[in-house]
Amino acid sequence: MGTYRMCVCFTRRFKTTEAEPPADVKGAFKKYAEGGTHMTAEQLLRFLVEVQGESGASISDAERTVELVLQKGHHIAKYTRKRTLTLDDFHHYLFSAELNPPIGDKVYQDMTAPSSHYFIYTGHNSYLTGNQLNSDCSILPIINALKRGVRVVELDIWPNNDTKDGVHVYHGWTLTTPVELIECLKSIREHAFSASPYPVIITLEDHLTPDLQAKVAQMITQTFKDMLFYPESECLKEVPSPEELKYRIIISTKPPKEYRAAKSKQGNRDNSLKEKDFDEDDDHTSDSESSEHNQDDEDKDDVDHESHPPGACTYKSLITIHAGKPKGGLKEALKVEADKVRRLSLSEQALEKAVSSHGMEVVRFTQRNFLRVYPKGTRFNSSNYNPLIGWMHGAQMVAFNMQGHGKYLWLMHGMFRSNGGCGYVKKPDLLMKVGPNSQVFDPKAKLEVKKTLKVKVYMGDGWNLDFKQTHFDKFSPPDFYTRIGIAGVEADNSMKETKKIEDDWTPVWDEEFTFPLTVPEVALLRVEVYEYDMSAGKGDFGGQTCLPVWELQPGIRAVPLFDRKGEKYNSVRLLLRFEFV
């Protein structure tokens, strides 16, 4: 009896059957193959235009698709003279993430508007390998971020106390081990445009003496040479477009000021953790200093050359996007000036306060100026915050800890899959429009439903190839279910769930969900798969993705899934249908 039971476990455990094509796929094949057993390229073209919404598809596109499907499907030995698809071929085509993806992979937006008109893929403390307190600083996370398409890299620069004339990058007031600035700059030069030709912005959090600023100016100009963009005037009225700035490096920081004794500012790194005001100030200064720090130095055009050595002026001349908080409260900080563009940095809590009382002023500010939002300092474990609060108010630089993982980072990845993954996503018109009486978009306003997205979740496949047979359950195939929903403005947020399919590596759900959207322009589709685990109380993770709703291609699509960190699985994917009504 014992042996018999083991046999049962063994067969259950390794049984993987190929699921049949869903009824909708069979129906589409029957309709477009006109009742026949094979679909020609001409018939496939009709399907592409009428069901998949690919109005620009040509007969040569359809022929090429047939060719690729047949090659992929091991038909090499038995090519028929007439290239046609069987039902299985058609199903394999629809379920191929390479041949039938949910969104396009080309840059299609207008890239000629001023750079402040775009959401920009932005990293926070880009040099950290792990947590914010005692992880190593390294060039590797910078390289990884650039390869992913991140366009804004943040470096905290401090004097190297050992050599007196060197410059270190590390997270101030913490125990993180430093990395040389020159190493970071060289790695940016080498990898800046590996994923995208559009400009890389380096935001410097500067804690240097004027002498060291002069040295950094020299390092930057010598490392980047012709790649470096030099602004024509001290304060630009508009930052040039991503198109004009292709393959260029841009510097954004506070203009230099009279040097205050660094000793009081830096303290002893090993003992200074308690001194740091983690929550509010991205310059890591104490409260007593921050009021002095917040002065608007951009107005000091007449540089005092006795207190500023010439090198510091050179440093100032490299800054394209000037950062700084003007004196006074929030209203002053959000003032829009006609003759200059600047960057304002707010912590996630400061942003929440600002939008609760001055939401439309924030939108108005971001129509011309840059707003950078950064994680609160207590996120020691490199977690993140809801990026949509920043985006729905027009914030261009929603800075994220790319070393972390979790729901909010998945949303960040999803946003920047948009526009061919180039790292710049044009802000929707509604955030740029000014109506009568200077009215701008109000994210809090109750709006009518503009568009409804219907998503049908057919099936999933590929776990048996990407996971060990015993990964989810030692004795039987997994019990998968899918969670699907929207992240966007508050009225549009929702999350729904399919039933769980027991004991199946290739689950078929065949369930449809409806999502009414008031602001589809900033909505992201969230998709997560879990394996139901009764004993754990919550499911084992089986994959996720996040997709920009405004780019979803209609029709039946293969949707590849990613792991917790955002790395794509080799084989795991879902078959979904998207329809806008």
Residues that are catalytic: 124, 171
d(CA 521, CA 429): 9
Tokens 């996370």, residue?
A: 141
- For residue 404, the one-letter residue type is G
d(CA 453, CA 144): 34
* String of DSSP letters for 84-119: -B-HHHHHHHHT-TTTS-SS--S--S---S-GGGEE
Q: Report CA-CA distances (Å) from 25 to 88, 93, 423.
A: 10, 11, 35
Cβ–Cβ < 8 Å for 353, 333: no
Nearest to 104 by CA among 409, 452, 483, 551: 551
d(CA 484, CA 493): 11
Tokens 């090993």, residue?
A: 270
**Other Cβ atoms closer than 10 A to 358:** 17
Burial of residue 211 (number of CB atoms within 10 Å: 0-12, 13-18, 19+): middle
Distance from chain centroid for Cα 131? 20
Using DSSP's 3-state secondary structure scheme, residue 447 falls into: coil
Element holding 263 (H helix, E strand): helix 262-266
Nearest to 418 by CA among 166, 105, 65, 153: 105
Cβ–Cβ < 8 Å for 212, 171: no
* String of DSSP letters for 285-312: --HHHHHHHTS-GGG--S--TTTS-HHH
Cβ–Cβ < 8 Å for 547, 411: no
**Other Cβ atoms closer than 10 A to 119:** 25
Q: Report CA-CA distances (Å) from 487 to 28, 356, 547.
A: 31, 19, 10
Tokens of 222: 């010598």
